Amino acid sequence: MKIATFNINNINRRLDNLLAWLRGAKPDIACLQELKASDNEFPLRAIEKAGYRAVFRGQKTWNGVAILSRKSEPVLTRIELPGDDGDRDARYIEAAISGVIVACIYAPNGNPQPGPKFDYKLDWLRRLRLHAARLLRQDLPVVLAGDYNVAPTALDIYPTRSWDKDALIQPKSRAAFAALVAQGWTDAIRTLHPSKPMFTFWHYKRNRWARDAGLRLDHLLLSPALTPRLVKAGVDRKVRGEDGASDHAPAWIVLN
């Protein structure tokens, strides 16, 4: 089973890029973030023509999440992260697919920091940690896949001082991600590639793609029930270099 996560950065603008990647990579499950499309704008017909079923929660601004499944119907289990009834951002969706619970995550960016947006980011990650703990207590096979908007360590960002004040690498952001992993989740890509950067994001500005000035923001965390099944993990870097590409590249795992 191949499971991928891909911040598509506007699904309709980059639909051709997405469909080409689906044809080539053939993930069994694909988690998409930053749809930038309302529910009625989601390109369901094109997705289904490509051989995928989908559950999604759209939003026209910077948000929106979806889970695509190639082999079986995704059974929707949750469309929002619990813990804040006033949170209207479309940042979390969860489904059962082929015996695995798949969560698609688009954590807040948090900039500028300090400030209310950073406070929201930390609170959102706290709520994610609480919900993840409930999933672990049920001893379920779970994948938490998505754009966490956190580069967890110095290995996960190119050598630079230009991001020092950015919310993506603040000590509190990194501590929140570390606390989540410490519950018992396995950071799949870092586990199989312990010493390589494995960047998944390159900003459009300052020629960062050409310079390989990237960050690892997109992660797939596995519950203990799934960790023994992990056999491969990687990043489809070449997708970032295509015409009209998202500023993210797909990250993926293979489970036996």
Q: Give the CATH number, domain containing residue 235.
A: 3.60.10.10
Q: CA torsion, points 155, 177, 18, 195, in degrees to nearest 10?
A: 20
Predicted confidence band of residue 97 (pLDDT cuts 50, 70, 90) = very high
Q: How far from 142 is each of 27, 32, 36, 222, 248, CA to CA, in Å?
A: 17, 17, 26, 6, 23
Q: What are phi and psi of 254, to 5 degrees?
A: -125, 130
Residue 247 contacts residue 14 (beta carbons within 8 Å): no
**Average pLDDT for 4-25:** 98
Question: What's the pLDDT at 61?
Answer: 85
Residue pair 101/67 in contact (Cβ under 8 Å)? The answer is no
Across residues 126-152, what is the average pLDDT? 98
- Structure confidence by residue, pLDDT tens digits, 170-225: 999 999 999 999 999 999 999 999 999 999 999 999 999 999 999 999 999 999 99
User: For all residues of the chain together, what is the average pLDDT?
Assistant: 98
With a cut of 90, say whether residue 9 has pLDDT above it.
yes
Query: Is the pLDDT at 100 greater than 90, yes or no?
Result: yes
Q: Smallest Cα–Cα separation from 173: which of 135, 128, 236, 237?
A: 128
Place of tokens 């991001």: 163
Tokens of 33: 């973030």
C-alpha triplet 97, 29, 183: angle, nearest 5°: 70
Q: Is the pLDDT of residue 56 over 90?
A: yes
Q: How far apart are the first and last CA of the chain?
A: 6
Quick check: 115 pLDDT over 90? Answer: yes
Give CA 208 to chain center in angstroms. 21
pLDDT value of residue 235: 98
**Count of structural domains, the chain:** 1
The mean pLDDT value for 73-85 works out to 97
Q: Is the pLDDT of residue 241 over 90?
A: yes
Reported confidence tier of residue 62, pLDDT bands at 50, 70, 90: confident
Sheet containing strand 218-222, strands side by side: 75-78, 92-97, 100-106, 142-147, 218-222, 186-187
User: 0.95 cut: is pTM over it?
Assistant: yes
For residue 167, give its domain range.
2-255
